Structure 1
Amino acid sequence: MLSISKLKNFDAYPKTVDDFRIKTYTGAIVSIVSSIFILWLFFSQVNLYLSTDIHHELFVDTTRGEKLKINMDVVFHHLPCAYLSLDAMDVSGEHQFDVAHNIFKKRLSSTGSPIIESPPIREDEINKKAVVNNDASATCGSCWGAEDENIKCCNTCDDVRNAYSKRGWGIADPSTISQCLREGFTKNLIEQNGEGCQVYGFILVNKVAGNFHFAPGKSFQRHHMHVHDLQPFKGSFNLSHTINRLSFGNDFPGIRNPLDEVTKTELVGAGMFQYFIKVVPTIYEGLNGNRIATNQYSVTEHYRLLQAKKGDEPTGLPGLFFMYDLSPIMMKVGEKGKTFSSFLTSVCAIVGGVFTVAGIFDSFIYHTSKNLQKKIDLGKTH
């Protein structure tokens, strides 16, 4: 019993007698205001506890031997699909001419609506069907003077164009080539005149500096130079375009691609649109521990007029060029949330702090009003 009675000496919260407590209207107002203030701060802390913070870290990129995935969705408002080719090249010397794998083209009318409602077919599948059909009907087609030791037969229009490109020639009039006539190459150029084209899909490139571009004409390598054969196409090229999407790698929450929804209009002649892109390798780590290896990028742009008037010879290759370079610095974007212990600490600090400050304020008001009342009673207010 003695030890229990001594336990009261450790009470840090001594109780006062209720008979000596004085309740005032100002105290009630201060109590109500402080309670509302405590509730507001409490719910703000709950909101902060449920939300996540984004933290950024920078370190040297040590990854090697990876491929870079480039996702694209570009609409050319006044350039037909039959005119367009996509090429990619990098500083390692790898060139991809007229990329068709995982790339789709959709014909658009002059108003921008799709002409063919059925799902588009990949270009490489179309080429395979053309080769099969022509192999069945012809054993060895003529290359129209472009034969050599390696190329003996040309059964498709592409075979003839490739044979010509290896010799550095261009096909001035595809209608004179029986393979092109059979496959409707000239017919497609005439039918699609005035149309637009949507090109979408993705390409895989080496993780080094390089470029990819959309340009009219068949591309080939000549004397270590990248050349496009523009002879079959008459007139000027309008490169007005809208980039619906351009990204490097997978998306993650909060990512922003600067070129998404960018529209450029060409009012005079034909020109070269150039986008210089700085790719920053990025790792995104969520609260659940999932990691996404992707990339962010910044961009600057430049436009160069090549053909001022219709009929003039262009002083360069009109097209849409994307030159990209990779940063040696990798960014880590991580989600972090508050722990429950920090949430409890904040709540206790809010309740205790507001209660203490409100008590000091109420005590000040009470004693001030009490002293003022004493002076009024003694007639010392004047």
Structure 2
Amino acid sequence: MSNSRPKLLSIDAFSKTIEDAKIKTASGGIITLLCVVVVMFLINNEYKDYTRIINLPTLVVDKDINKPLDINLDITFPNLPCELFTMDILDISGDSQVDIINSGFLKYRIVNGNEEILDNEPVLGNDLSLSQLSAGPDKDGKCGSCWGALLQDGNDNVPDNEKKCCNDCQTVKLAYADKLWAFYDGEGIEQCENEGYVKKLQERIEAKEGCRVKGTTKINRISGNLHFAPGASHSGTGRHVHDLSLYDKFKDKFNFDHTINHFSFGPAAINEAGQDEQSHPLDNYKIWGPTKEHVFSYYLKVVATRFEFLTKPSLDTNQFSVITHDRPMKGGRDEDHQHTIHARGGIPGVFFHFDISPMKIINKEQFAKTWSGFVLGVISSVAGVLMVGAVLDRSVWAAEKVIRQKKDL
């Protein structure tokens, strides 16, 4: 035991000084207070960093490609009455959803360019399909005329289930669309006149009403487009057409100026702090002022995203980036970029072209530091400050000694 003590003393890194040999100075007290303040500040920063939540992104192949994709949309057309346009979805598989109002989306009337809804009653879309054009007479035995858009046999011997009848204005409108005939506002068509459709539409045109479309729907998770275009639409034999007759009838009315109040894919991802983790690059995007014959295109790259929260259940949603483009239908050189020549033709409207990425991003929430990292950071901060304080105190003490010695001389 006696032999071991000298060996331990020789490796003691914390040698002690005699209490009587210690000298306390005012400058040392000031430096000590400064060190305490700096240490407290650094410990507070370490604690904030320890409790800070970060997202750790990981890129994987999307295995849920067969799940439907939710589209959330809120868009305002200040210069276009609700009855003048349809909303369709087409995808590269050849599937189409024509006039999807009432299938998750609703139209609301607005007036004088005001984005506030005129009334709470939505403007209903056309729920009819082409199969209903072959419907027989109504319950009263009446078989309405389709005005030449469909072949109708006037022979009473024809069974009711084989008669083609247009008993209301919407059916006539759909029959005209199937025939690719111009419908205009339905003026002169008995069914539309009797229902008050013509008068109501003309009043809304004169009042310069606009329209706001809001809602959510599901689509296939494959590339395609969602678009707003004038008139009734019809898809068949590899083409998709719209009836532009009423839109073109008034040269000084109607255009596709619009404000995108909100556009997203999937549910909102709200984090622990109550903030939306998603970016919405098209929210509050506004285009006003171009000509009537104009095409607006948005090219969206959609990426599936999964958010894994610390205390909440995981959430699967989507994020997207966007490139915007617009051009006049007349084509020609761009007014702002003379080296750019636009294509000619097309139909006026707003088109959202979406491309689905095969990859998926997983954002996992975690604390910025572990408990051991926090403790190590605190110890390092305290040791570093004390070391700097000791060096500073010695420097000040040495300087004071030199000054006193010069005064004594």
TM-score bin (small chain): 0.7 to 0.9
Taking the aligned partners of 1:151 and 1:61, their CA distance within structure 2 comes to 50
* In the alignment, structure 1 residue 235 sits paired with structure 2 residue 250: yes
1:269 aligned residue (288, 292, 317): 292
Tell me if the contact between 1:269 and 1:306 (Cα under 8 Å) persists in the aligned partners: no
Displacement of 1:257: 1.0
Taking the aligned partners of 1:303 and 1:91, their CA distance within structure 2 comes to 22
**Partner residue in 1 for 2:326:** 303
The amino acid that maps onto 1:154 is C
TM-score (norm 1): 0.85
The amino acid that maps onto 2:181 is W
Tell me if the contact between 1:106 and 1:114 (Cα under 8 Å) persists in the aligned partners: no
The amino acid that maps onto 1:354 is V
**Partner residue in 1 for 2:23:** 22
**Partner residue in 2 for 1:50:** 51
Aligned to 2:165, the other structure's residue is in SS state: coil
Taking the aligned partners of 2:244 and 2:49, their CA distance within structure 1 comes to 60
Within 5 Å, which residues of 2 pair with 1:1-382? Answer: 16-100=17-101, 101-112=103-114, 114=116, 116-120=118-122, 123=125, 135=138, 139-148=142-151, 152-172=164-184, 174-193=186-205, 194-233=208-247, 234-236=249-251, 237-252=254-269, 253-288=276-311, 290-306=313-329, 315-337=345-367, 338-374=369-405, 376-377=407-408, 379=409
Tell me if the contact between 1:102 and 1:122 (Cα under 8 Å) persists in the aligned partners: no
Taking the aligned partners of 2:216 and 2:256, their CA distance within structure 1 comes to 21
The amino acid that maps onto 2:266 is G
Tell me if the contact between 2:329 and 2:348 (Cα under 8 Å) persists in the aligned partners: yes
1:135-175 C-alpha deviation (Å, 9 max, x unpaired) = 55664322222335977122222222222222333325612
Displacement of 1:290: 2.4
The amino acid that maps onto 1:160 is V
- Equivalent pairs, count: 364
Tell me if the contact between 1:103 and 1:123 (Cα under 8 Å) persists in the aligned partners: no
Taking the aligned partners of 1:114 and 1:23, their CA distance within structure 2 comes to 75
1:174-207 C-alpha deviation (Å, 9 max, x unpaired) = 1222222233332232121111110010121110
Taking the aligned partners of 2:98 and 2:170, their CA distance within structure 1 comes to 12
The amino acid that maps onto 1:142 is S
Taking the aligned partners of 1:42 and 1:266, their CA distance within structure 2 comes to 56
Q: 1:290 to 1:151 in 2, by over 3 A?
A: farther
Indicate the percent of aligned positions where both proteins have the same amino acid: 35
Displacement of 1:90: 0.3
Q: Greater shift after overlay, 260-269 or 137-146?
A: 137-146
The amino acid that maps onto 2:200 is N
Aligned to 2:55, the other structure's residue is in SS state: strand
Taking the aligned partners of 2:163 and 2:240, their CA distance within structure 1 comes to 21
TM-score (norm 2): 0.80
Tell me if the contact between 1:84 and 1:217 (Cα under 8 Å) persists in the aligned partners: yes
Aligned to 1:192, the other structure's residue is in SS state: helix
Taking the aligned partners of 1:137 and 1:61, their CA distance within structure 2 comes to 56
Taking the aligned partners of 2:200 and 2:60, their CA distance within structure 1 comes to 52
Taking the aligned partners of 1:113 and 1:242, their CA distance within structure 2 comes to 9
**Partner residue in 1 for 2:339:** none
Tell me if the contact between 1:140 and 1:154 (Cα under 8 Å) persists in the aligned partners: yes
Tell me if the contact between 1:82 and 1:192 (Cα under 8 Å) persists in the aligned partners: no
Q: 1:326 to 1:290 in 2, by over 3 A?
A: same
The amino acid that maps onto 1:231 is S
The amino acid that maps onto 1:319 is G
Taking the aligned partners of 1:125 and 1:152, their CA distance within structure 2 comes to 18
Q: Greater shift after overlay, 236-245 or 331-340?
A: 331-340
Q: 1:126 to 1:197 in 2, by over 3 A?
A: farther
Displacement of 1:249: 1.0
**Partner residue in 1 for 2:337:** none
Q: 1:137 to 1:12 in 2, by over 3 A?
A: farther
Taking the aligned partners of 1:205 and 1:266, their CA distance within structure 2 comes to 32
**Over aligned residue pairs, what C-alpha RMSD do you find?**
3.0
Taking the aligned partners of 2:139 and 2:145, their CA distance within structure 1 comes to 15
Tell me if the contact between 1:168 and 1:222 (Cα under 8 Å) persists in the aligned partners: no
Aligned to 1:176, the other structure's residue is in SS state: coil
Taking the aligned partners of 1:125 and 1:147, their CA distance within structure 2 comes to 19
Taking the aligned partners of 2:221 and 2:291, their CA distance within structure 1 comes to 37
Q: Greater shift after overlay, 177-186 or 367-376?
A: 367-376
Q: Greater shift after overlay, 246-255 or 206-215?
A: 246-255
Aligned to 2:180, the other structure's residue is in SS state: coil
Tell me if the contact between 2:65 and 2:358 (Cα under 8 Å) persists in the aligned partners: no
Q: Which runs of 5+ in 1 are unaligned?
A: 309-313
